[in-house]
Structure 1
Amino acid sequence: MANQLIETHREGAEVYSTPDLCKAKSYELLEELDMPNGLLPMNEMIEVGYNRTTGFVWLIQKELVKHHFEKIDRKVTYDTVVTAFVEKHKMKKLHGVKAKEMMIWLPLNEIYIGSDSTKITFGSYTGISRSFPVSAFIEEVKKVEEEKKVEEEKKVEEIKA
């Protein structure tokens, strides 16, 4: 179903298909929506698309990602295909994202920042919603850049050895 939805919105969309560019564009999208930059911690993305006319977004990655948001002690999975309709402060008709609540994985259908801009709310199809501090989803870009630099230095050392 997700692939059919993507195909119907592909015409006129911005589509990116190199991993580094996909990651950069996912950050840009979150920034444009005024959403926290750590909200989509997806790895090895192979395609990101955004149809600005319809507000439809898709992110495709090689394999499912399980992520633990330490600041709120919550686990979330991101399927190989994640889709949503987006607007400022909001992702709706979300598909491909599940959050663990108690012992059950609940599919999320919306994420939004309401009038209290310090809180972000996650809603499921069951009607259950939870709000958390926006700060829990802000990725420290400097920390990520430092980790990349350390990785690059390790590779250089391995080549020299």
Structure 2
Amino acid sequence: MAEKEGAIINKGHEEGLKMAVSLMEEFELPLGLLHLADVIEVGFVKNTGYIWVKQEKNFEHKFKMIGKLVSYDTEMSGYVEKRRIKNLKGVKGRELMLWLPAYEITVDHPLTGNVQIKSLAGITKTFPAEAFAAGQ
């Protein structure tokens, strides 16, 4: 795939998780934003900001502080920049009876601000950043 050209790729759960955490820190994103289980591969293209994560199976996580259920597909991807992920694929949030794909995530400030999540359906939700802290 052309968008993966020149990528740094880490394979396996331990190495992939380390890379994912490192990228979240570098781009000032809350460490608990993406819950990962059984990681197969994490890749990042420095020139474009393209990132992807492959894991063995779909995974659901409930963010207790905000009462939201989020589904992570076996492959997620997007373009990362400081405090933002754009063109996100593979992440959906449960809203009433529907699963809405998250398209863009923006962080006002990683520790004290808000996290805005935009869906393809045009719905934007704002949550406190601490809801996505590591361990939540």
Bin for the TM-score computed over the shorter chain = over 0.9
Counterpart of 1:104 in structure 2 is 98
Counterpart of 2:22 in structure 1 is 28
Count of matched residue pairs: 135
Q: How large is the RMSD of aligned CA atoms in angstroms?
A: 1.6
Alpha-carbon displacement from aligned partner over 1:26-82 (angstroms, at most 9, x marks no partner): 111110110100011110110000001011000000000011000110000000000
Counterpart of 2:12 in structure 1 is 18
- Indicate the structure with greater helix content: 1
Using the TM superposition, give the Cα deviation of residue 115 of structure 1 relative to its aligned residue in structure 2, in angstroms.
Answer: 7.1
Q: Which has the higher contact order (CA 8 A, sep 6+)?
A: 2
1:72 aligns with 2:66: yes
- Indicate the structure with greater strand content: 2
TM-score, scaled to structure 1? 0.80
CA distance in 2, matches of 1:38, 1:128: 22
Query: Structure 2: 5+ residue runs without aligned partners?
Result: none
Query: Structure 1: 5+ residue runs without aligned partners?
Result: 1-6, 142-161
Q: Which has the larger radius of gyration?
A: 1
Amino acid across the alignment from 1:123: K
What secondary structure sits across from 2:34 in the alignment? coil
Percent identity over paired residues = 35
Using the TM superposition, give the Cα deviation of residue 132 of structure 1 relative to its aligned residue in structure 2, in angstroms.
Answer: 0.4
Match of residue 78, structure 2, among 57, 78, 84: 84
